[in-house]
């Protein structure tokens, strides 16, 4: 297949592009490099040094991989997006290209507006481009488990069969997300479902859990092919942060009581799930939702798994929760669709954590400990200037 990966320079987009290429697909990547600009804005950066996209592509090719084409530009620029799709002529478009940090979207009004504008407008432009250029192109869109929030009923895969006052219907699963970022994904899902109904688009919405890990077979092949590894309190995700805190001898920062339960997934399963979704497209007019997660754990269980696996001493601290989230709740997620397509999940294990500890140890001197401290507070509606590096420019302009 010809597969265009939007957001192909990011944490997940880059390993996915290489994985799809290694599996025989013709791959193109699109990115506007805004993720690298957030690093400048926040004064943070990847724990592991990463190469430019140009170097990554050259190394991939020099090591025998099929050439991956690249397009530099912004999804919000519809002329660029239309021209790119016309030029590459994809069968499938995998859409990772969004502002993806919940804390970033909660810094202040500007960051909330930027996040929703970037994500919702980018996705709308993509829908229109596919609607006008070729409706057969399958859109594989990265959604998120946090779209659902923590409902007091089991979480189905996107849709819910309900009976109300004696009548039955099948409706989109009710959503109650916990940040303006997660809300942007809900808006995307609704727009995409509408596009399937009116234009017959083919869409797979992958509601992915929190990703952990930093290596896939392809990123491990050469230090110049590694993907980014975020640990700061804005972009670092929870298990990656816990692993880094353990190696640095710092207490693992559980927000609040720690009984909040989240869906998680190993990065090696992310790339495989995307391959499976691409190779088995949604039907014309179908809005298909997969819960892209392999297990669920409370924050306390995640922290204990990390401290138990870490060979040295490590401890856990409970911080006042900077977010607004329910701590004691029901959380039962249906996630059979991808397994039915052939996914055989990697569960969180000592082996993976041990390899993460090794990678972290090699780069421990690069850690800025100040960046680990959470600063963005959900209850404050404005002014998080302290999280923006002095003298840096806000990315949204």
Radius of gyration of the chain (CA): 20
Tell me 108's DSSP state. -
Mention every residue, 6+ apart, whose C-beta is less than 8 A from residue 2. 25, 26, 28, 88, 89, 90, 91, 92
Burial 249-276 (b: 16+ CB within 10 A, else e): ebbbbbbbebebbbbbbbbbbbbbbbbb
Q: Which residues inside 37-76 make contact with ligand NAD, applying CB under 6 A?
A: 74-76
Binding partner of residue 307 among ligand USQ, ligand NAD, none, CB under 5 to 8 Å per kind?
none
Q: Give yes or no: 237 in active site.
A: no
Q: Give yes or no: 144 in active site.
A: yes
d(CA 32, CA 99): 12
Q: Which of 92, 115, 123, 144 is catalytic?
A: 144
Selection from 294, 293, 289, 285 nearest residue 175 by Cα: 289
Mention every residue, 6+ apart, whose C-beta is less than 8 A from residue 362. none
Q: Which of 71, 114, 185, 204 is catalytic?
A: 185
d(CA 258, CA 376): 19
Element (H, E) at 170: strand 167-172
Stretch that binds ligand NAD, among 8-16, 170-178, 187-195, 346-354 (CB under 6 A): 8-16
Tell me 66's DSSP state. P
d(CA 82, CA 154): 40
In the complex, the smallest distance separating the C-beta of residue 163 from ligand NAD, rounded to whole angstroms, is 32
Binding partner of residue 97 among ligand NAD, ligand USQ, none, CB under 5 to 8 Å per kind?
ligand NAD
- Cite the DSSP H helix spans in the chain: 13-22, 34-42, 53-62, 78-88, 102-105, 109-116, 122-133, 180-199, 238-248, 267-279, 299-309, 337-341, 350-362
Q: Give yes or no: 185 in active site.
A: yes
Judge whether 113 and 181 are in contact, CB under 8 Å: no
Binding partner of residue 34 among ligand USQ, ligand NAD, none, CB under 5 to 8 Å per kind?
ligand NAD
In the complex, the smallest distance separating the C-beta of residue 380 from ligand USQ, rounded to whole angstroms, is 16
Binding partner of residue 93 among ligand NAD, ligand USQ, none, CB under 5 to 8 Å per kind?
none
* Contact footprint for ligand USQ (CB under 6 A): 100-102, 144-146, 182, 209-210, 237-238, 241, 253-255, 260, 262-263, 299, 323, 325
d(CA 232, CA 40): 13
Binding partner of residue 156 among ligand NAD, ligand USQ, none, CB under 5 to 8 Å per kind?
none
Half-sphere exposure of 246 (CA within 13 A, CB side): 27
Stretch that binds ligand NAD, among 25-33, 109-117, 197-205, 308-316 (CB under 6 A): 25-33
Judge whether 251 and 245 are in contact, CB under 8 Å: yes
> x-or-dash pattern for ligand NAD, window 235-274, by CB under 6 A?
--x-------------------------------------
> x-or-dash pattern for ligand NAD, window 318-357, by CB under 6 A?
----------------------------------------
- How many residues lie near ligand NAD (CB under 6 A)? 27
> x-or-dash pattern for ligand NAD, window 119-148, by CB under 6 A?
---x-------------------x-x----
> x-or-dash pattern for ligand NAD, window 80-119, by CB under 6 A?
----------------xxxxx-----------------x-
The backbone torsions φ and ψ at residue 6, rounded to the nearest 5 degrees and listed phi first, read -85, 130
In the complex, the smallest distance separating the C-beta of residue 265 from ligand USQ, rounded to whole angstroms, is 9
**Which residues are annotated as catalytic?**
144, 181, 185
What residue ranges bind ligand NAD (CB under 6 A)? 7, 9-13, 31-35, 74-76, 96-100, 118, 122, 142, 144, 208, 210-211, 237
């Amino acid at each position: 297949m010809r597969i265009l990966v939007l957001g192909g320079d990011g944490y997940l987009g880059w390993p996915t592009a290489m994985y799809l290429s290694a599996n025989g697909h013709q791959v193109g990547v699109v990115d506007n490099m805004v993720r690298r600009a957030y690093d400048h804005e926040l004064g943070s950066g990847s724990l592991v040094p990463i190469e430019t996209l140009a170097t990554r592509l050259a190394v991939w090719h020099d090591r025998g991989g099929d050439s991956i084409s690249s397009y530099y530009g912004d999804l919000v620029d519809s002329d660029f997006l239309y021209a790119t799709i016309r030029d590459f002529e994809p069968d499938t478009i995998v859409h990772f290209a969004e502002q993806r940090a919940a804390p970033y979207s909660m810094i202040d009004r500007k960051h909330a507006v930027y996040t929703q504008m970037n994500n919702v407008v980018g996705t709308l432009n993509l829908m229109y481009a596919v609607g006008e250029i070729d409706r057969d192109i399958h859109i594989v869109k990265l959604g998120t488990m946090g779209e659902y929030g923590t409902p007091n009923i089991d979480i189905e895969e996107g849709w819910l069969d309900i009976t109300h006052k004696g009548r039955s219907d099948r409706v989109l699963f009710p959503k109650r997300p916990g940040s303006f970022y997660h809300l942007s994904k809900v808006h995307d899902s609704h727009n995409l479902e509408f596009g399937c109904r009116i234009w017959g688009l083919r869409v797979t919405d992958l509601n992915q859990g929190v990703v952990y890990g930093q290596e896939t077979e392809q990123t491990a092949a050469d230090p110049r092919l590694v993907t980014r590894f975020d640990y700061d309190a804005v972009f670092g995700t929870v298990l990656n942060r816990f692993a880094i805190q353990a190696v640095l001898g710092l207490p693992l920062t559980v927000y609040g009581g720690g009984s909040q339960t989240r869906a998680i997934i190993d990065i090696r399963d992310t790339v495989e799930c995307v391959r499976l979704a691409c190779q088995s497209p949604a039907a014309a007019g179908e809005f298909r939702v997969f819960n892209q997660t392999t297990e669920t754990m409370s924050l306390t269980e995640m922290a204990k798994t990390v401290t138990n696996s870490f060979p040295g001493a490590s401890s856990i601290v409970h911080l006042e929760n900077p977010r607004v989230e329910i701590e004691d709740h029901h959380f039962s997620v249906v996630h059979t669709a991808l397994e039915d397509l052939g996914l055989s999940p990697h569960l969180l294990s000592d082996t993976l954590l041990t390899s993460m500890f090794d990678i972290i140890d090699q780069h421990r001197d690069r850690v800025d400990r100040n960046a680990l401290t959470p600063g963005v507070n959900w209850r404050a509606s404005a002014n998080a200037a302290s999280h923006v590096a002095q003298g840096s420019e806000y990315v949204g302009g």
